Amino acid sequence: MLFERTPPELCTTGSFAAFLDTPQFLSSTLHIITLTGLPIHVFGAMCIVFRTPPQMANMKWVMLNLHIWSVALDVTFGFLVVPFTYEPVLAGYPLGVLAEFGVDMKYQYYLCVVLVAGVLVSVAVLFETRFFVLYARDSFWRHLRCPWLIINYLIAFTFMLPTYFMIPEQVSGKRYQFGRYPCMPDEVYDEKVFLLSTWSSAVGYNSNLNTAGEQALVFMILIYWNMRKSMSRIKLSKKTLEMQRSVLRALILQVTIPLVIVLGPLIYNTLATLNSYYNQGANNLSVSVMATHGIVSSLAMIYLHKSVRQSAFAQPTVSVSVASVSIIQIFENRLLVLQHEDPWWRRFRVPWFLFNYLVALLIFLPSYLLIPDQSEAKSDILGMLPRTPDYLDIDRIFVVSAGHQYLLWPGFLGFCLYTGQIGTCACLIEKCLSENYGRKMSLNTLKLHRKFQKALVIPLIIVCLPVLYLGFSGLFRFHYQFLNNISI
């Protein structure tokens, strides 16, 4: 034998929940994460481009550069590639859009590697720029910046070429590598599965060629050391030093928080490789957690940089301008305008907006994951109808749920949540109008506000009535196609 077989006790055939092992779970989870992250990424980019204050102008474009690389990695990982991996073996197959278009798996692998390296280099550039702006404008380093930048991005694009050129012959490589793991599923020998390397350590050694992470750490230390030196020589005021420390602290946390999120999966992957441990559900969860890097990075950037955050949310219309226009936000915005002297709500606007958006995206996730077998579901659903219309094409029907409860309960909870918020905002608006009348508001102004308030009720009714009809028709199994069409 050329290799030792892994003891079965170190390799499990399934996770604690069977659906975690499936490609469908991984694909659905990564798509949801990507779709959830897109508006956050767009909002983050708008904050950087349009709301970065003048005192941080030198950092605007390097922050945007890091943001773009992170978003590109997020979209590639969660939508274009979607890697279904077989840790502890460096093998897997893609579930994303690029696979549907027939893009070779080795090119997809290389794209992911380049994007990861690009994010690391962008982090190093972020701290290098901060160091240069504060302490190295007149030093010899200004002559070395461009060569340093070019070399680092060249390394990012080429450091994995040795592994790329040494991709093994797939049939013999799989026979050798997968033979060491007796609990691997039979599908690993399929043509769709791509084996990157039979020597995991070589890929690790190859990764050491990219030293962008270490360089970022060096620039952090240089910035901190120069701050201490400036304090001892009293070159800067305490206020200036505190501002510089605040920016440095925000930059470090902006990079560290996403890194901590990714650290868990990285530790698991390392231990799984070292101990030859295979668990497909754990692999899928590991990939899913790593896919949240982009969202966490964008949220950290928005929240941690106080000047960016305050500039972005200083005006009451910012939330409406950067988010999709919704009835709840219109009411909330009117309330904020009327309470402009009481800023307590401003601190809760962003978490409130993100919470509502996430609920809207995820509230029907159970019904999505429980979509039934179509042939059985169609016969059950059509049996409930009093008669089948002649124009109905059975083959084109798609049954979302076999049980109404999977749609009605989430819909009912969402309806109560959002109408409750609208009603609360409407009551608070009326309270503000009553309190301000006579003190800060004339009768004509009050009438204009109330006319606008009544105008807001119209789109609310237009949305609520069809929703209520569809909910009651599902609850009482009432079918009338004319009303269905009118509602939609």
pLDDT one-digit tens code per residue, 169-182: 888 888 888 877 77
Split at pLDDT 50, 70, 90, the class of 322 is very low
What is the gyration radius of the CA atoms in the chain, in angstroms?
28
For residues 44-69, average pLDDT? 84
Q: Given the structure tokens 């769709």, which residue do they identify?
A: 192
Give bridge partners of residue 441 from the DSSP assignment: 437
**Structure confidence at residue 233 as a pLDDT band (50, 70, 90):** low
Of 263-267, 287-291, 353-357, 362-366, the least confident: 362-366
Indicate yes or no: pTM above 0.85.
Answer: no
Give per-residue pLDDT as tens, 364-423.
666 656 666 666 777 776 666 656 566 666 666 666 666 666 667 777 777 777 777 777
- φ/ψ of residue 92, rounded to 5: 165, -170
Among 5-19, 86-100, 150-164, 193-207, the range scoring the smallest mean pLDDT is: 5-19
Chain-wide mean pLDDT for the chain?
Answer: 76
DSSP state of 372: P
pLDDT of residue 370: 67
Tens digits of residue pLDDT in 458-474: 666 666 677 676 666 76
The residue with greater pLDDT, 1 or 266, is 266
Q: Are strands 194-195 and 83-85 parallel, antiparallel or unpaired?
A: unpaired
Bridge partner list, 84: 93
pLDDT confidence bin for 271, thresholds 50/70/90: confident
Percent of the chain with pLDDT over 90: 16
The per-residue pLDDT for 175 is 86
Containing 178, the helix (H) or strand (E) segment is: helix 170-178
Dump pLDDT digits (tens) for 77-112: 988 999 999 988 889 999 999 998 889 999 999 999
Domains in the chain with CATH codes: 17-312 (1.20.1070.10), 318-487 (no CATH)
Measured distance CA(277)–CA(11) in Å, rounded: 5
**Mean pLDDT within 24-52:** 84
Confidence band for 316, pLDDT divided at 50, 70 and 90: very low
Q: In what order do the strands lie in the sheet with 194-195?
A: 83-85, 91-94, 194-195
477: left (phi over 0), alpha (psi -120 to 50) or beta: left
| SS3 call for 194 | strand
Q: Which of 370, 247, 341, 337 is nearest to 301 (CA)?
A: 247
- Percent of the chain's residues with pLDDT above 70: 65
Q: Which residue has the tokens 């010899």?
A: 140
User: What whole-number distance in Å separates Cα of residue 274 and Cα of residue 281?
Assistant: 18
- Euclidean distance between CA atoms 364 and 415, whole angstroms: 12
**Distance between CA atoms of residues 239 and 196, nearest Å:** 53
Question: For position 317, what pLDDT does the model report?
Answer: 32
Residues 481 and 136: their CA atoms lie apart, in Å, by 72
Q: What are the tokens at 430?
A: 């009326």
Highest mean pLDDT among 132-141, 225-234, 250-259, 311-320: 132-141
Q: Residue 136 and residue 471: Cα distance in Å, rounded? A: 65
